[in-house]
């Protein structure tokens, strides 16, 4: 029953799948991704802490940096910010504990090819910063993500950060989608 419900909840639309596949292919074989909801309600209220927690999870998780290395990075990249202790990261939820995933393999930094991408800033050249050259896609509800002060932490650290607005050519066809039931634009 659970599998049937999950299968029925999967949102599939050929236009959406084409756009997502095109964006995925543009980003390349190895890229990082973060979902940052910061634009409304409780998410907006907790946004500063949530952004820092997501940044730490990204560096500690896929990039496998130690807490000390992340603290040094914060001091180097954000010298005007107060030095804070590492955030307490949330524990896995109950379903994740019941069905643990196998350990993740290290992020393939040798597979990063940013030559086809137009990065926002110059790539890092210092050896301890090279892993931050990985393309990073941020899914967010921020109205102008590339200008959002909270997301600047990611933009400052990752020269190849991308938002949905960067893929207008891939998402343009979505503007033509309408819900047949109520006429609401789905783009």
β-pairing, 161-162 with 32-36? unpaired
pTM of this structure: 0.84
Tell me what pLDDT residue 144 has.
Answer: 93
Percent of the chain with pLDDT over 70: 95
Angle (CA) 110 112 114, round 5°: 140
What DSSP character marks residue 82?
A: P
Tell me what pLDDT residue 10 has.
Answer: 67
Q: Which residues of the chain have pLDDT under 70?
A: 10-11, 96, 110-111
Tell me what pLDDT residue 111 has.
Answer: 65
Average pLDDT, the chain: 87
Tell me what pLDDT residue 167 has.
Answer: 93
Q: What whole-number distance in Å separates Cα of residue 34 and Cα of residue 96?
A: 19
Please report, to the nearest 10 degrees, the dihedral formed by the alpha carbons of residues 31, 37, 43, 47 taken in order: 50
Give the contacts of 74 (CB within 8 A, at least 6 positions apart).
81, 83, 84
């Amino acid at each position: 029953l659970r599998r049937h419900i999950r299968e029925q909840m999967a949102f599939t639309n050929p236009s959406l799948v084409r756009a997502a596949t095109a964006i995925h292919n543009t980003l390349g074989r190895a890229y990082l991704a973060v979902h940052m909801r910061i634009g409304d309600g409780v998410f907006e209220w907790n946004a500063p802490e949530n952004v820092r927690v997501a940044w730490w999870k990204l560096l500690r998780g896929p990039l496998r940096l130690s807490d000390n290395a992340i603290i040094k990075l914060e001091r180097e990249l954000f010298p005007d910010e107060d030095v804070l202790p590492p955030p307490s990261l949330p524990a896995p939820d109950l379903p994740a504990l019941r069905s643990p995933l196998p350990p993740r393999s290290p992020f393939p930094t040798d597979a990063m090819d940013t030559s086809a991408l137009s990065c926002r800033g110059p790539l890092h050249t210092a050896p301890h910063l090279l892993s931050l050259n990985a393309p990073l896609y941020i899914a967010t509800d921020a109205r102008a993500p590339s200008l959002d002060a909270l997301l600047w932490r990611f933009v400052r650290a990752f020269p190849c950060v991308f938002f949905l607005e960067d893929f207008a050519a891939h998402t343009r066809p979505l503007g033509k989608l309408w819900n047949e039931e109520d006429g609401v634009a789905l783009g």
